[in-house]
């Protein structure tokens, strides 16, 4: 199953956690000092918030997939359409280890396609390889998942 991923950068993690827990009518599945995540089935979304971006608002959108082959399939579709794709393998990011790729939509919104292989104990410091492809100046400087 593919699951939409939304990552929002927030300043007040506690207040935001309360808000989204109320909105989704459930408690988060992951709670860290700087990161909170809900794995929702209705709607099917991996919704995360964190304080690591240094600014509030949408950090990135994405598609969580079940296999590395699905990551590669989406990379191939984007490449076939002449879109820039930045693969990232064995990434440590957002308390998870996985294979992923990054792209930007025409408005400059970062899109992450990822297959999570394992949870890890640290947030991770891998940068978004979007730095390695063209990007609008307004969205430069993102790190990892936020």
Q: What is the pLDDT of residues 56-75, one digit of tens each?
A: 999 889 999 999 999 999 99
Residues 9 and 16: beta-carbon distance below 8 Å: no
Instruction: Give domain limits for the chain.
Output: 3-139
Which residues, at least 6 apart from 79, have a Cβ–Cβ distance to it below 8 Å? 85
- Reported pTM: 0.74
Q: What is the dihedral angle through the alpha carbons of 43, 20, 70, 93, rounded to the nearest 10 degrees?
A: -170
- Tell me the pLDDT band of 93, cut-offs 50, 70 and 90: confident
Q: Quick check: 140 pLDDT over 70? A: no
**How far is the C-alpha of 72 from the C-alpha of 61, rounded, in Å?**
18
DSSP characters for 94-125? TTEEEEEEEEE-TT--EEEEEEEEEE-SS---
Say which CATH superfamily domain 3-139 falls into.
2,3-Dihydroxybiphenyl 1,2-Dioxygenase, domain 1 (3.10.180.10)
**Cβ 88 vs Cβ 76: under 8 Å:** no
135 phi, psi to nearest 5 deg: -150, 150
Residue partners of 103: CB distance under 8 A and separation at least 6: 78, 83, 84, 85, 86, 110, 111, 113, 130
The pLDDT value recorded for residue 69 is 95
């Amino acid at each position: 199953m593919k699951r939409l991923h939304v990552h929002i950068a927030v300043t007040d993690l506690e207040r935001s956690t309360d808000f989204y827990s109320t909105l989704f009518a459930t408690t988060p599945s992951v709670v860290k000092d700087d990161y909170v995540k809900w794995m929702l089935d209705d709607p099917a979304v991996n919704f995360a918030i964190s304080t690591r971006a240094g600014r509030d608002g949408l950090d990135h959108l994405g598609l969580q997939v079940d296999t590395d082959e699905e990551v590669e399939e989406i990379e191939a579709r984007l490449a076939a359409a002449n879109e820039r794709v930045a693969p990232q393998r064995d990434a440590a990011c957002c308390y998870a280890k996985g294979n992923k790729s990054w792209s930007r939509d025409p408005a400059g919104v970062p899109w992450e396609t990822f297959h999570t292989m394992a949870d890890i104990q640290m947030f991770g410091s891998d940068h978004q390889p979007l730095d390695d492809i063209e990007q609008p100046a307004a969205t430069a400087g993102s790190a990892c998942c936020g």
